[in-house]
Each structure stands twice: as C-alpha cells, then as structure tokens.
Amino acid sequence: MGELREMKPETFKTKQEQLWAGDHTKAYIQRSDSPQLRASKAAAYAKILAHTRGVRSVIEFGANIGLNLRAIRHFLPDAKLSALEINETAVEALRQIEDLDVYHGSLLEFAPQQTWDLTLTMGVLIHVNPDRLRDAYDLLYRASNRYVCIFEYYNPTPAMIMHRGHEDQMFKRDFAGELLQAHPDLNLLDYGFVYRGDPVFPLDDVTWFLFEKPQATLLTLR
C-alpha cells in the first residue's frame, strides 16, 4: 500500500480547486477507468518514455486514481513513483497502489522537499485557474531533476470550455508555449497528438509535450 503524506489543511483559493476537491471528482473517477483507457495510456507513455534516459523517479501532479502512474510503472518498474492529488476519494484509491508515495493537497500549495527525474501532468493544467498557471509551470520546472511532461488540450489562443455545466472550469491554450516562455532554458524533445478516433489506442484529442532541462541547470533540492 502506498505511503500517504498529508499537506497542512488549507483553504483553497480558487473555485477550480474547490470543485475538484469535492464530490465532482467522484463522478469523474467512475467514468475514467476502463481496459481500453488503460491500454491507450500505456501506448502513449511508451512513445513518451522512449525519449528519456535514466528516469528513476516520477511525480504526477493531479494523479486522480493513478492510471498514468500504473502505465508508467509498466515501462519503468524500478522507478520510485509519487502522486499529488487534491481529492480525498482519489487519494484513497492511490493509497492502494503498492510502493507509491501519495501527497494529499493542491499543486498550487505544494512545496516539495525533493526533486524527481520526471514531473508530469495529464488533463490538469486545463483545470487550473489561468491567473495561477505560472505557479503550476514553476512547480513542474522546480520539482524536476531533468524531464517535464505535460499532456493537455491544445489551442493556439486561450479559450474557456463549458465543463459538464460548469463555467470557468476547463481551459484550452498553448500550455507548452507558456511553459517555455516561463522557463526558456527547457529543451523541447518531442510532442505528439492522440486522436479520440484512433482505431486502436484512442484518447480524448490531447497533445503531449516532453521537455528536458539543460544539464548545467539541473537542480537538486536537499
């Protein structure tokens, strides 16, 4: 069973955090797991991880019930995996995953005391308050020893999308471009699009980007 590391109690500062910390996530959990989805995630991460070397630790920010980390473990069986998740129900599911360090809290309040070889989001930046995106970009960068991967909806200009009757809860934009503007020393290693109509491994029209820090700027928190 995974290790749970609670963050200090907090009052969430944005309505996006409040939504995902509450009961809304329970319905999302119920519709977010299937054999097909697990296979599609595995296929995507096989492509992404093929561009990396020596990844021994990974953290996912906004891990939900851990499907991405399960897929990653298939390819990196010896890597130390960690998850940050805001929702208590999802955290309980994460705790059932063996050898997984679990942090319960918001990525906007997370203050890591270590770094990981790979930091990751999938379908999380799209739900971050646009005014706080720079904090999310900085966390992805600061917590990474080497690689940063984001897996989000792309749009060349910012756009709000209605999300199951909720306004201001889902956004499309050029997250990768903004991350590069915030941290221009990152190198873009590769990117790809996964189509919902893929006949074998469909996902929800998402685009992934894999970045690497220059060796001269790699940081280690102690």
Per-residue model confidence as pLDDT tens digits over 19-41: 757 565 566 666 667 899 999 99
Per-residue model confidence as pLDDT tens digits over 25-83: 566 666 667 899 999 999 999 999 999 999 999 999 999 999 999 999 999 999 999 99
Q: Model pTM?
A: 0.88
Q: Two tokens at 82? A: 């960690």
Q: Considering the domain boundaries, does residue 195 fall inside one? A: yes
**Is residue 125 within 8 Å of 152, Cβ to Cβ?**
yes
**Is residue 144 within 8 Å of 119, Cβ to Cβ?**
yes
Phi, psi angle pair for 104, to nearest 5° = -100, 110
Per-residue model confidence as pLDDT tens digits over 136-168: 999 999 999 999 999 999 999 999 987 665 566
Q: Considering the domain boundaries, does residue 129 fall inside one? A: yes
Separation between Cα atoms, residue 81 and residue 102, nearest integer Å? 9
Domain that holds residue 121: 3-217
pLDDT at 221 over 50: no
Mean pLDDT of 112-120: 97
Q: Give which of 118, 142, 126, 136 is closest to 211, Cα–Cα.
A: 118
Q: Considering the domain boundaries, does residue 192 fall inside one? A: yes
Separation between Cα atoms, residue 143 and residue 118, nearest integer Å? 8
pLDDT at 9 over 60: no
C-alpha pair distances (Å), 22 with each of 18, 19, 91, 112, 194? 6, 5, 12, 24, 29
Q: Considering the domain boundaries, does residue 213 fall inside one? A: yes
pLDDT at 178 over 50: yes
Q: Considering the domain boundaries, does residue 197 fall inside one? A: yes
> In the chain, pLDDT over 90 holds for what percent of residues?
76
Across the chain, what does the average pLDDT equal?
Answer: 89
Q: Give which of 185, 81, 175, 181 is closest to 128, Cα–Cα.
A: 175
Residue 217 three-state SS: helix
Separation between Cα atoms, residue 138 and residue 143, nearest integer Å? 8
For tokens 């990196």, the residue is 76
pLDDT at 222 over 50: no
Q: Considering the domain boundaries, does residue 222 fall inside one? A: no
Three-state secondary structure readout of 116-179:
EEEEEEECCHHHCCHHHHHHHHHHHHHCEEEEEEEEECECCCCEECCECCECCCCEEECHHHHH
pLDDT at 188 over 50: yes
Q: Considering the domain boundaries, does residue 128 fall inside one? A: yes
Structural domains in the chain (count)? 1
pLDDT at 105 over 70: yes
DSSP structural state of residue 15: H
CATH number at residue 57: 3.40.50.150
Amino acid in position 94: L
Residue 104 three-state SS: strand
Which of 26-30, 69-73, 195-199, 208-212 is least confident? 26-30
pLDDT on residue 220:
44
Q: Containing H/E element for 105? A: none
Q: Considering the domain boundaries, does residue 81 fall inside one? A: yes
